[in-house]
Structure 1
Amino acid sequence: MTVKYEYYTILVVDIEGFGRRRNPVQSWLRERLRRILEAAFETSGVDHRAGPPPVDRGDGVFWLLPGTVPKEDVTGPFVDQLRQQLRAHARTSSAEGALRLRLSLHGGEVGADDQGWVGADLNTACRIVDHQPLRDALAASEGAELVVAVSDEWHRKVISHDHPGIDATEYRPVRFDAKEIENETVWIRVPGHPAPVLAPESAPDNAPGAHGGSGAAHDGRRAAAATPPTPFIQHNSGIGQLYGDIHDGGIGQVQGTVHQTFGAPAAPDGAGNAELRHELDELRALLKDALARRDIDAGTYQDASRELDTAEEYADAEDEESRGVLVRALVKLGALVTGIGVIAEPVRNLINTLRGE
C-alpha cells in the first residue's frame, strides 16, 4: 500500500523505572498514566481527541496531535497540568507506585501502514525520550515529577518566541546522538526545578543543526543559552548607529548623538501599579479561601503562591521584559487554578488587561 504522510505534533511519554516494578504494579501504572494524560489534556484545553487514539509503548505511550493544535498550548498549559496531575498522584501513592515521566515533544511527517504508524520524525521523538541526558536530569532532580525534552526545531519555532507561560531560560541544550541521528541538539527542562546541570560531554558541538538551520544561526542560539546576558544600561536616549559589539568593558564606535544619565530613575506616579497590587492582594486572599475550602490542596497552593510572589516582585516594573515575566507568572497561576472559577476568572481578566485586550 502507498503510505500517505501528514504533519502531526508528536508527544512521547515513558515511565521512569517501569521495568523494576512487579507485573500488577506495571498494569496499574499504565492505567494511571492514561488517566493522568487525559486529565491534563482536558484541563489545559488541548483537544487530544482531534487526532488518532494514543499508541501503547509498554512502559509509555505516544500521542499524535493534528497540526492545528497550538504547540504553545502543548508546551505550556498541558505540561503545567500534567505536572499537577502527577503531584496529585504522588500524594496518595507508595514508593512502588511512584509515577515520574520523561516527555518528548517533536513535530513532523507521520504515516500509517498495515502495521501501524511510521515515519522518521516519529522515530526521532521516540529516540529523544530515551536519551540518556534526559534520564540523568530526572534522576538528579529529587522530588521532580517529570522531565521534558523538545527537539531543536520545536525550540526554534515555539520556545524561543517567549509565548506567555513559556520561559526559554528553563531549557538547557544537550547534544543528541542516537543510532541514525548524529550531532543534533535537544533542549531539556525539569518543571518546577532549577535548570538541569548537565555533564560536559552532553554539551552540543558547534556543528550546524540537522533541521535546516544555518550553522551561524544554530551557533547563535547555543551561545544565547550558554552565555548570560550582559547588564542592561537604562536611561539612554538619542539616535545613533553602533559599529562593533559592546560587552562589559568593551569598546565600540557610535555615530550620532546619544545621551545617558546615571542614578536612580524618578519614581513613577504609581497609580496603575497600586491598582495592580490591589488585584494581586485580592487573588492571594482568594487562594487562601480556596485552600480553606479544600478546593485546592496544599501543594497547589504553594505553587500558586510562588507565582503570585513573582507577579508581585515585578508589579512596579515598567519595562517590557519585566512585564513579560509578570504576565507569564499569571498565566502559570491560571493553569494551576483551572476549573476554580472564583480564582481563574479574575486571573484571566487581569492577564487580558495587562495585554491590552
Structure 2
Amino acid sequence: MYTTMIAIDIVAFGQRCHDTHTQRRVRHELYERLSEAFAMTNLPWAACHREDRGDGVLIVMPAEVNATHCLDPLAHHLAVLLRGHNRFASDATRLRIRTAVHHGYVERDDHGVFSPATVHLFRLLEAPAFKKALQAAGTDLGVIVSDTLYTEAVQRGGNLVVPSAYKQLWINCKEVRRARAWLWLSPHHSDH
C-alpha cells in the first residue's frame, strides 16, 4: 500500500540510559508522548502499524491518512509534550527525539514492513547531517522530511505546513547520496 511512514529515534539512548529501569521508563515516556501527540493531531494511533526498534519506533500510517498532518501539526504537538516532560526530567530521562517522515509503497510479510521507501526513511533518520543539525541546535525534537513529501505538501497549499519553518538539508547516508531533505527543528528552550 502507498502510505506515510514515520521513524523515531531517541537521541543518545544508549549513552544516557545505562540500566534497564531507566530504559524502560524512557521508552514508556516515548510511547506516552507519541500517543498523546497523535490524539492531539487527530491521527489514529491505534490503527497504525508499529514496530518497536528498542530506542525508537517505526510507525506506518493507514493509507487514508493525509500525510500533511504528519508534518507541522504532529511536530508542534510533540514538541509541546516533550517540553512539558523534559521540564522535570533528569539528564538520563530527558526525551530528545529525531523523527523522519516519508511516503511511498510498503510491503508487509510475517516479520514486518519493508520497501525501498522504508530504506530511504531510515537513511534520512540516520543521516549524519541530520544528527549534526539536531546536536548543534540543542532542541528536543528534530524532524526530517523527504523531498518528495515536503514538495507535495507545499504544492497542496493550505495552512498545515509552513515552508519557512523548514531548512533544506543534503543527505549522504550509505547508498543515499546527495539527496535533498527538509529539516524542521523545535524551538530551543533554556529551562532544561
Q: TM-score, normalised by structure 1?
A: 0.50
The residue type paired with residue 135 of structure 1 is K
The number of equivalent residue pairs is 187
- 1:158 match: secondary structure: helix
Q: Distance in 2 between matches of 1:124 and 1:150?
A: 11
The answer as to whether partners of 1:111 and 1:117 remain within 8 angstroms in 2 is yes
Q: Distance in 1 between matches of 2:8 and 2:105?
A: 19
The residue number in structure 2 matching 1:51 is 48
Q: CA deviation at 1:80?
A: 1.0
Q: CA deviation at 1:189?
A: 1.3
Q: Distance in 2 between matches of 1:139 and 1:156?
A: 26
The answer as to whether partners of 1:174 and 1:185 remain within 8 angstroms in 2 is yes
The answer as to whether partners of 1:72 and 1:163 remain within 8 angstroms in 2 is no
Work out whether 1:141 is the aligned partner of 2:137.
yes
Q: Which runs of 5 or more structure 1 residues have no equivalent in the other structure? A: 1-5, 194-298, 300-357
Work out whether 1:78 is the aligned partner of 2:74.
yes
The partner residue of 2:98 within 85, 95, 102 is 102
Q: Which runs of 5 or more structure 2 residues have no equivalent in the other structure? A: none
- The equivalences for 1:84-95 within 5 A come to 84-95=80-91
Work out whether 1:163 is the aligned partner of 2:131.
no
- The equivalences for 1:1-357 within 5 A come to 6-20=1-15, 21-23=17-19, 24-52=21-49, 54-142=50-138, 144-192=139-187
Q: What is the CA RMSD across the aligned residues, in angstroms?
A: 1.6
Q: Distance in 1 between matches of 2:72 and 2:176?
A: 27
Q: Distance in 1 between matches of 2:150 and 2:84?
A: 29
Q: Distance in 2 between matches of 1:116 and 1:96?
A: 30
Higher relative contact order (CA 8 A, sep 6+): 2
The answer as to whether partners of 1:10 and 1:105 remain within 8 angstroms in 2 is yes
Q: CA deviation at 1:135?
A: 1.0
Q: Distance in 1 between matches of 2:71 and 2:164?
A: 14
The answer as to whether partners of 1:160 and 1:168 remain within 8 angstroms in 2 is no
The answer as to whether partners of 1:162 and 1:168 remain within 8 angstroms in 2 is no
Q: Please say which structure displays the higher CA radius of gyration.
A: 1
Residues 165-186 of structure 1 deviation map (CA, whole Å, 9 limit, x = unaligned)? 4211121112222222222111
Q: Distance in 2 between matches of 1:74 and 1:128?
A: 16
Q: Distance in 2 between matches of 1:28 and 1:98?
A: 10
The answer as to whether partners of 1:55 and 1:62 remain within 8 angstroms in 2 is yes
The residue type paired with residue 42 of structure 2 is G
The residue type paired with residue 61 of structure 2 is L
Residues 72-114 of structure 1 deviation map (CA, whole Å, 9 limit, x = unaligned)? 2111221111111101111121111111000100001111122
Higher strand fraction (1 or 2):
2
The answer as to whether partners of 2:125 and 2:144 remain within 8 angstroms in 1 is yes
The residue type paired with residue 119 of structure 1 is S
Q: Distance in 1 between matches of 2:63 and 2:36?
A: 21
The residue type paired with residue 105 of structure 2 is E
Q: Distance in 1 between matches of 2:116 and 2:65?
A: 21
The residue type paired with residue 36 of structure 2 is A
The answer as to whether partners of 1:75 and 1:166 remain within 8 angstroms in 2 is yes
Q: Distance in 2 between matches of 1:161 and 1:66?
A: 20
Residues 216-244 of structure 1 deviation map (CA, whole Å, 9 limit, x = unaligned)? xxxxxxxxxxxxxxxxxxxxxxxxxxxxx
The answer as to whether partners of 1:14 and 1:101 remain within 8 angstroms in 2 is yes
